[in-house]
Amino acid sequence: MLDASAPVVHQHAPPTSFIRKWVFSVDHKVIGKQYYGLALISVFLGMILSWLMRFHLVWTNAAIPGLQLISKNGAPGGVMTPEYYLSLLTMHGTLMVFFVLTNAPFAGFGNYFLPIQVGAEDMAFPRFNMMSFWVTFVAFVVLIAAFFIPDGPPISGWTAYAPLSAVGRDAGPGLAWGQTLWAISIGLFCVGQLLGSLNFIATTLDLRTKGMTLSRLPISTWAWFITSCIGLLAFAVLLPACVLLILDRVAGTSFFIPAGLVISDHLQPHAGGSPLLWQHLFWFFGHPEVYIAIVPAVGIVSHILMASMRKPLLSVKVVYSSMIAIGFLSYMVWGHHMFLSGMNPFSGLVFSFPTLVITIPATIITMIWIGSVYGANLRFHTPCLFSLGFISVFVAGGVSGFFLAQPSLDIQLHGTYFVVGHFHMVMGVAAIFGILAGSYFWFPKMTGRMMNDTLGRLHFWITFIGVYCIFMPFHYLGLAGNVRRYSSFVDDYLQPLLPLHKFITIAAFITGAAQFIFLYNLIYSRFKGAPAPANPWDATSLEWSTTSPPPFDNFGGRHVVVYHGPNEYGVSGAHGDFIMQDSSEPGPEPVPGD
Amino acid sequence: MQVVKVCTTLVAALSIAAIVTAAPGGGTVTGKVTYTGTPVKPKPIDMSKEPSCVKQHATPEMTETVVTGPGNTLENVVVYISAGAPAESNASSAATFDQKGCHYQPHVLAFEVNQELKITNSDQTSHNIHPLAKVNQEWNKSQPPGTPPLTAKYEKPEFISVKCNIHPWMHGYFAVLGTSHYAVSDGSGEFKLPNLPPGKYTLTAWQESYGTQTQEVTISGNETKTVNFTFTAKPY
Amino acid sequence: MGKLLAVVLVLIAVGSAIPILMHTWWMPEDISTHGHMIDRQMSETMAESGIAFVAAQLVLAAFVAMFGDKKDGRKAKHLPGGAKLVVIAAIALVGTEVLALGVFGKDAWAEVYFRKPVADAIPIQVQAEQFGFYFRYAGPDGKFGPMHPEKIDEGSQNFFGLDPEHDVESRDDIVSASLVIPMNKEISLMMHAKDVGHSFYVRELRIQQDFVPGLDIPMHFTATKAGKYEIVCTQLCGLGHYNMRAFLEVKSPEEFDQWLKQQSQ
């Protein structure tokens, strides 16, 4: 830790050329914005894919003008074929889970704000950091390339179950080069994430400034730190799984393919492999991955809530301890994705128990949030609205998990829209609300300009009501047994459900359109927004103690010394009802009711 | 001398005329394809997962791996000149293959290399046509109802098994031939190959379960030759 | 703003609950012998989760309405009992739910998976393939002939790759595109995948199980009501996944015997 009187030594000199400043930059702030930008492109692309999918489900044989230009085979005459629907579904899931939910809240905001929040000048390994972004970018390009090859993108879902994904083009369109490109892309993505996780852990442990003990870390930093620990092991398992999949596809190995399979009238030349092996490897990664997607949002929302409520949470220690418990338990539950997979049914009971138990720390965090609102002085700006909205949708998504955690209920609900509703509520809505809350909260710091709060509120209201209109009905469809991943609904029992699907599709178009309000606000405010002060939200953590935007070394040569924890809200401070972490004023009076 | 010259010219002219007028006419090979033994019984096809197709058949469609006619005859046998004829293409129009009632029409479609193949979907359901080519390029494409016909071409001769990826019972064949002299035996097992120039030919008959048989035939002028094929049927 | 958010939260909570309470979109009637255990579990879970969901939205709504910044200099205060109360309440509430559902829920699972089929269950083999289900009955000799993958010929309806010419036991095997069973008799289903992963789901029977290539998986169930029900595939298996189904026909024992006899001819 730095001595306040020591001379300033910069980690790296400020860049001068355009390429070094904005393209191949080692500055964590630029890298954070690059990740965020990549996530922004991915989320709008993923959203357009979902529009195409929802349209096709309701108006199955209608032509979508222009679609045949993107894929002649996938949409002859503009009418989507069944395989093209599945390839859009696969790309939607892959883009959203990897390139949006892992990129934005973790790599995006984490890269930008973790060094600043711990009082450091940059990440521990700036060049690794730059490499991790560019590897992720190449992964993105490889994935998108699958749209433009003749055979089209893969059709096996983001979960890519074997042997469908492993045997090659016999299994259908998209399963030739498209699937291989997918596996290469995800393998590269894992490398990028591993490099990033290493950086986050090293920076949090070693680059904290003087006075920044672990217990004084902002809750968002705790979240990024815990997420990177989860990610290190999870991505380290997905990477070899992708390698094995590629080998099965191109090198004639049979890790995931048993003998005797007849596909497209060809007896497959493989023997000895196990489809269940892929599922175990994938979900051993896949379950921690969903916590990688949500834990940063939990941290960001907790961080923003305190600034919005003007009081600390009932106990920040309980919250990050619960996050650690969730991280730990997340490695014990992967089999709940496989209750009906054909693995030993006794395993079903074994996995069910920790899955139910993981509800406990999640409930503790949620009840701490709600309990903390009691007695607050809420300021209802846009970041606050999205944070409160996050609590609501996190509860909605969490309770449906309770059903799926029980194997006996999974018998009825597995593979239905109930599952789709559950994971969209927690990931597609809650995690996105965390990203949006963080965007509105940190935009002033990152750009030096304020976003338009009126547009922000409009965006919130349409989105908040819209997501319930879209995803709550998914649960009803699932209870009725509506199977998922169907490109159209031809079964008899599905016909009475079509009006509900129409309602959902229209809600999806409206809610999706509202996201362009956010995009417009982002772009307009970037250039024409009102100038932002250093601390527009009266918040306590170190990012608010520096200029908006921060100088290249974050603190302008100043040695930051930390005197307080990050939760001093609702106290008598020199500048208001809060005390900043690096303020040398004396400690607070206890909050009434403590 | 004058008379000899005129006569020679006349004879030459008449010969040329005879040869020239003989070419479009040509010889014909006709015949019948029959079987001995007991063939496999056709089985009814259960299309219940696709009600829009079930509705189109008053009685269930039967399997067509072996289609017999009265008098122990075989339908859907492709008979063609496999040797002796110059490679030529006569195809001016497209060969059409229709998906109707979840059934391929015709069951065996014979056409030439590089001839345009047109595939139509006359049903209310999507089909996915998958010709399992081994020599030519293998492809499969989905065809939602109401979309334009698919077109394709094959460059090499091959007997290609065709299946529908979505409806497992749908099966047919493309007989891609390197000659314009071919026929497919009809419901009475009969076939006819007209317009054959004089020459020594190898005639091949192909049946999807029983394989191929060959016979030699020589055409000298405008005569009609009869060539019959008999396959040995198998009960299984 | 706080009051508006509170109103919206209440509307969301009530609006979401109504279709559940009214069973507007719900599970179809149960025609199985074990399904009542699953249905009871479902109702209990729905009650507990439903109450938790609605309560959380309503309490959040109340607090959001009451505790906006009134700019009157009032100091923020904590919930009496603080974090300790919350943690104890969370552990008590969820802990008991977890125990109750986890411990009592295992009976339904055990009934489906932890016992073998009864001795006189009717054995039926089901093969899942891209994109249909085909069923095989052993026929009068009670034996299933061996399967030869290289002999599969769909054009002649030989989906199982049987070789009746050389395998005597195959000659009387009955292959059907529909699963026809008698009422009130346990069926022992042997599940085999021909190509990739599929799944077998009958909503009314309250059973679902994946097919795994390379594994032959046993299932058993008993249907209690005659009728025609849909069997659908729930595991993404390729482009025709949406169109992969078969019909389950539950008949009276006499009608079933008649059907079986007809198939043998």
Report the pLDDT value the prediction gives residue C207, as an integer from 0 to 100: 96
Tell me the pLDDT tens digit for each residue of A165-205: 999 888 888 788 999 999 999 999 999 999 999 999 999 99
Are C45 and C98 within one domain? yes
**pLDDT for position A23:** 86
DSSP A232: H
Q: What pLDDT is recorded for position B21?
A: 46
List, as one string, the DSSP characters of A390-414: HHHHHHHHHHHHHHHTSHHHHHHHT
Touching check for B146 and chain A: CB below 8 Å?
yes
- Which residues from chain C sit within 8 angstroms of residue B48, using beta carbons? 177-178, 246-247
DSSP state of C151: G
Cβ distance of C53 and A392 shorter than 8 Å: no
Work out the pLDDT band at A589, boundaries 50, 70, 90: low
Tell me: do C107 and C128 sit in the same domain. Answer: no
State the Cα–Cα distance between residues A432 and A103, nearest whole angstrom.
12
More confident residue, A9 or A297: A297
Tokens of A170: 């016999």
Q: Chain B contacts of A81, Cβ < 8 Å?
A: 126, 128, 141-144
User: Rounded to whole angstroms, how far apart are CA atoms C66 and C70?
Assistant: 10
What angle is formed at CA A266 by the lines to CA B184 and CA B206, rounded to 5 degrees? 20
Task: Classify residue A125 by burial, with Cβ atoms within 10 Å: 0-12, 13-18, 19+.
Answer: middle
Residues of C in contact with A380 (CB under 8 A): 1-2, 5, 68
Query: Is the minimum CB–CB distance between B141 and chain A shorter than 8 Å?
Result: yes
Q: What residues have CB less than 8 Å from A555, skipping those under 6 apart?
A: A119, A121, A545, A546
Inform me whether the pLDDT recorded for B3 exceeds 80: no
Instruction: Identify the three-state secondary structure at position A13.
Output: coil
Contacts of A80 in chain B (CB under 8 A): 144
Q: How far, in Å, CA of C189 to CA of C178, rounded?
A: 13
* In chain B, domain spans: 26-232
Angle between helices A109-118 and A219-250 (to 10 degrees): 140
Cα–Cα distances in Å, from B155 out to A33, A52, B167? Answer: 53, 37, 27
Joined together, the tokens standing for residue A508 give 């999806």
From residue B59, how far is each of A13, A549, B55, B161 by CA, in Å?
84, 77, 10, 26
- Residue C132 sits in the same domain as residue C212: yes
The DSSP code sequence of chain B is -HHHHHHHHHHHHHHHHHHHHHHHH-EEEEEEEEEES-PPPP-B---TT-HHHHTT-SS--B--SS-EETTTEESS-EEEEEESSPP-----S-EEEEE-SSSEESSEEEEETT--EEEEE-SSS-EEEEEE-SSS----EEE-TTPPPEEE---S-EEEEEEESS-TT-EEEEEEES-S-EEE--TTSEEEEEEEPSEEEEEEEEETTTEEEEEEEEE-SS-EEE--EEEEP---
Regarding whether C34 and C59 lie in a shared domain, the answer is yes
For B46, list phi and psi in degrees, rounded to 5. Answer: -90, 110
Residue B204: the pLDDT is: 96
Q: Would you call A76 an interface residue with chain B, using a CB distance cutoff of 8 Å?
A: yes
Q: Hey, of C109, C221, C243, which one would you mutate to test binding to chain A, going by the most A CBs within 10 A of its CB?
A: C109
**Dist CA B43 CA B64 (whole Å):** 9
For residue A312, pLDDT beyond 60: yes
Maximum distance among all alpha carbons in chain A?
A: 79
Q: Please give the mean pLDDT across all residues of chain C.
A: 94
* ipTM of this predicted structure: 0.96
Strand B224-226 to B229-232 pairing: unpaired
Same domain, C255 and C184: yes
The answer to whether A115 and A121 are in contact (CB under 8 A) is yes
Cis status of the peptide bond prior to A549, with omega within 30 of 0: yes
Q: Which of A26-30, A497-501, B7-11 has the lowest mean pLDDT?
A: B7-11
Per this entry, what is the length of chain B? 236
Q: How confident is the model at residue A565 (pLDDT cuts 50, 70, 90)?
A: very high
Backbone angles phi, psi at C145, to 5 degrees: -70, 160
Domains of chain A with bracketed CATH: 23-258+268-578 (1.20.210.10)
Query: Residue C207: helix, strand or coil by DSSP?
Result: strand
Give dist(CA A286, CA A263) in Å, integer: 28
- Point out the residues of chain C with pLDDT beneath 50: none
Q: What is the pLDDT of residues A450-504, one digit of tens each?
A: 999 999 999 999 999 999 999 999 999 999 999 999 999 999 999 999 999 999 9
Chain B hits for C164, Cβ within 8 Å: 236
Confidence of residue B2 (pLDDT cuts 50, 70, 90): confident
Q: How far apart are the first and last CA of chain C?
A: 76
Question: Does the CB of A3 have a partner CB in chain B at under 8 Å?
Answer: no
- Judged by CB atoms closer than 8 Å, whether chains meet at B49 and C156 is answered as no
Q: Which of A223, A360, A207 is nearest to A305 (CA)?
A: A223
Spatial strand order in the sheet of B78-83: B182-184, B78-83, B199-207, B211-219
Whether the ω angle into residue C149 lies within 30 degrees of 0, i.e. cis, is: no
Structure tokens at B191: 């076939």
* Pairwise CB contact (< 8 Å): C246 & B49: yes
Q: Is residue C47 part of a domain?
A: yes
Within the 487-546 window of chain A, which residues sit less than 8 Å (CB to CB) from chain C?
487-493, 497, 500
Can you give the pLDDT at residue C105? 78
Rounded Cα–Cα distance for residues A452 and A528 (Å):
10
Which contacts qualify for A44-47: CB closer than 8 Å, 24 or more apart?
Answer: A44/A515, A44/A519, A45/A95, A46/A91, A46/A92, A46/A95, A46/A96, A46/A99, A46/A100, A47/A512, A47/A515
Cβ distance of C77 and A592 shorter than 8 Å = yes
Percent of chain A whose predicted confidence (pLDDT) is above 90:
88
Helical ranges in chain C per DSSP H? 2-21, 35-66, 82-113, 253-264
Q: For residues A381 and A121, what is the distance between their CA atoms, to the nearest angstrom?
A: 30
Residue C61 has, within 13 A of its CA and on its CB side, a CA count of 17
Q: Is C133 found in the same domain as C28? A: no
Q: Nearest by CB to C12, from A376, A411, A468: name it.
A: A468
Contact yes or no for C13/A380 (Cβ under 8 A)? no
Give bridge partners of residue C209 from the DSSP assignment: C200
Indicate the pLDDT class of residue B172, thresholds 50, 70 and 90.
Answer: very high
What's the rounded Cα separation, in Å, for the pair C33 and B100?
Answer: 42
Residue from A60, A61, A263 whose CB has the most chain B CBs within 10 Å, to mutate: A61
| Residue range A47-95, pLDDT digits in tens | 999 999 999 999 999 999 999 998 888 998 899 999 999 999 999 999 9
b/e B171-181 (16+ beta carbons within 10 angstroms → b): bbbbbbbbbbb
- Residues on chain C touching A260 (C-beta within 8 angstroms): 149, 214
Place of tokens 């939602």: B144
CA-nearest of A190, A200, A193 to A222 is A200
CA–CA min distance C253, chain A (Å): 26
Q: Quote the radius of gyration of chain B (alpha carbons, Å).
A: 22
* Number of Cβ within a 10 Å radius of residue A479: 25
Instruction: Say yes or no: C20 and C145 in one domain.
Output: no
Q: Which residues of chain C have a CB within 8 Å of the CB of B64?
A: 155
pLDDT tens by residue, A359-404: 999 999 999 999 999 999 999 999 999 999 999 999 999 999 999 9
Is C248 within the bounds of a domain? yes
Which chain B residues have a beta carbon less than 8 Å from that of C193? none
> Nearest to residue A516, comparing CAs of A101, A41, A44?
A44
Q: At what angle do helices C2-21 and A382-404 cross, to 10 degrees?
A: 20
Name the token pair of B128. 């996915």
Q: What are phi and psi of C172, to 5 degrees?
A: -105, 10
Tell me how many domains chain C contains.
Answer: 2
**Using CB atoms within 10 A of its CB, is residue A107 exposed (0-12), middle (13-18) or buried (19+)?**
buried
Q: Do C105 and A86 touch (CB under 8 A)?
A: no
Q: What is the pLDDT of residue A12?
A: 67
Contact B128 C163 (CB under 8 A): no
Pair (C43, C16) in one structural domain: yes
Residue C75 lies in a domain: no
Q: Which domain holds residue C45?
A: 2-68+81-113
pLDDT at A592: 45
Q: Looking at chain A from residue 321 to 360, which residues have their Cβ under 8 Å from any Cβ of chain C?
A: 340-342, 345-346, 348-349, 352-353, 356-357, 359-360
At residue A593, the pLDDT reads 40
- Whether A36 and A99 have beta carbons less than 8 Å apart is answered as no
Radius of gyration (C-alpha) of chain C in whole angstroms: 26
| Contact between A76 and B144 using a beta-carbon 8 Å cutoff | yes
Selecting from B46, B168, B236 the residue whose C-beta is nearest the C-beta of C178 gives B46
Q: Do residue C86 and residue C155 come from a single domain?
A: no
C-alpha closest to that of C195 among C218, C215, C213:
C213
Is residue C74 included in any domain, yes or no? no
DSSP secondary structure string for all residues of A151-179: T-S--STTTT-TTTTTS-GGG-TTTTHHH
Question: Which DSSP category does C74 fall into?
Answer: P
Q: Mean pLDDT in chain A?
A: 93
What angle is formed at CA B110 by the lines to CA B108 and CA B113, rounded to 5 degrees?
Answer: 140
Average pLDDT (A108-119) is 96
Q: Which one of B50, B119, B126, B208 would you mutate to disrupt binding with A, by most A Cβ within 10 Å of its Cβ? A: B126
Note whether A82 contacts B: Cβ–Cβ < 8 A: yes
Q: How far apart are the C-alpha atoms of B45 and B101, rounded to whole Å?
A: 12
Confidence (pLDDT) at A7: 47
Confidence (pLDDT) at C96: 87
Let me know whether C159 and C134 are in one domain.
yes
What was the pLDDT predicted at B15?
57
Q: Are B65 and B76 in contact (CB under 8 A)?
A: no
Q: Which chain B residue shows the shortest CA-CA distance from A491?
A: B49
**Per-chain mean pLDDT for chain B:** 90
Nearest residue to B176 via CA among B202, B141, B128, B137:
B137
Write the residue in B132, B140, B147 that is nearest to A79 by C-beta.
B147
Closest-CA distance of chain A to residue C146, Å: 13
Partner residue opposite A341 with nearest CB, options C85, C108, C210 = C210
Min distance B26 CA to chain C CA atoms (Å): 39
- Record: contact C130-B65, CB cut-off 8 A: no
Clarify whether residues C204 and C133 are in a common domain.
yes
Phi and psi at residue C205, to the nearest 5°: -85, -10
Q: Which of A205, A229, A199, A227 is nearest to A217 (CA)?
A: A205
A437 has pLDDT over 60: yes
- The answer to whether the CB atoms of A570 and C25 lie below 8 A apart is no
Go through C20-57 and write b for each residue having 16 or more CB atoms within 10 A of its CB, e for each that does not: beeeebebeebbbbbbebbbebbebbbebbbebbbebb
* Assigned superfamily of B26-232: Cupredoxins -  blue copper proteins (2.60.40.420)
Strand partners, C207: C202
Which residues of chain B are within 8 Å of residue C246 when distances are taken between CB atoms? 48-49
Nearest-Cα residue of chain B relative to residue A265: B132
pLDDT the model gives residue C172: 93
